Amino acid sequence: MSKVSSRPASSPVPSAVRTEASAAPRATNAVRQQTPYQVADGLDVSKAGTRPPVSLDVPTPRQAQAVTGRDGRAPDGKRAIRVETGVADGPWGSTVHQYIEIRVKPLDLGIAPGQLQSELDRASAEKLADDEKAYGADMRAAGYSSLQEWSEDRGYYGSPSHVAWAEAASARTGGQIPAEWWMRFDPFGGTAGNGPNILPTGEYPGLASRIAMCHDTDWDLGRYFGAGPLRQLQGAENAQDLGPLGLDPRLGGELYTFGHADWDVTYGEEVQRSGG
């Protein structure tokens, strides 16, 4: 959860599903150019198809996963994404497939297509400033030049749970902002904690990460786009004091601790027979 907060947090715990890749050299603050991650989604096809190209520079996820699109035209208006997180051997030759499925109600950000890139650039600059204030000193002390580099080194960036969070964030915008941008924007998006300091159950499949899968997105949309239930975050001078907005009832606003009406987050598994 890449939130702005000055409070200490517990040490991070490793994800339950991950294949580590060899660490890349830490050379500069620039993001290395790699092949963009391609997915098929179940978002608003008309909006996604007419979306102007935006600047993307995101490493390919280290771990293979299937992203399955859903029609998303349910009576409640929610759109669904599903990401396979792992496969294990089951009984009698079957396989057990773990997955994250997120259903979310899209928001209209009110951004004209011609203004999208400038809005994304503005939001990125504002978040970099927030991250520097909150995590800059710790990041450099740990030997990293960016949060993305830190997330990559820990194996979270581009992991199935990070992809699921980013796909759901894109669905929250009706497909207007692509998942690849969300991954770069929030390298620890979908984890519960204090930026790179992840709580004991704050990473998939931990219980707290289910809250972060929706809260992180709405926190970012409120802070940097003035949209959604946490829109009061935009323009706040001391955002570190509002890091738990949506989680602490003393701060007011809508609560995400026991779920939110706009979101459904499921960590599940299903058994498939051989050849099925």
- Residue 45 pLDDT > 70, yes or no? no
Each residue's pLDDT tens digit, 254-275 = 899 999 999 999 999 999 987 6
Give the pLDDT mean for 95-103: 96
Separation of alpha carbons 90 and 225, rounded Å: 45
Greater pLDDT, 177 or 53: 177
> Is 31 a domain residue?
no
- Residue 12 pLDDT > 70, yes or no? no
Its domain, for residue 153, covers 45-272
**What would the two tokens of residue 220 be?**
């970012």
Listed in sequence order, the residues at least 6 apart from 197 whose beta carbon sits closer than 8 Å to its beta carbon are 8, 9, 10, 11, 12, 138
* Residue 225, SS3 per DSSP: helix
Name the band, by pLDDT with cuts 50, 70 and 90, for residue 252.
Answer: confident
> Is 115 a domain residue?
yes
Q: Count structural domains, the chain.
A: 1
> Is 3 a domain residue?
no
- Mean residue pLDDT across the chain: 80
pLDDT at residue 149, rounded to an integer? 97
> Is 50 a domain residue?
yes
> Is 13 a domain residue?
no
Burial class (CB in 10 A: 0-12, 13-18, 19+), 276: exposed
> Is 38 a domain residue?
no
**Contact in structure between 50 and 68 (CB atoms under 8 Å):** no
> Is 56 a domain residue?
yes
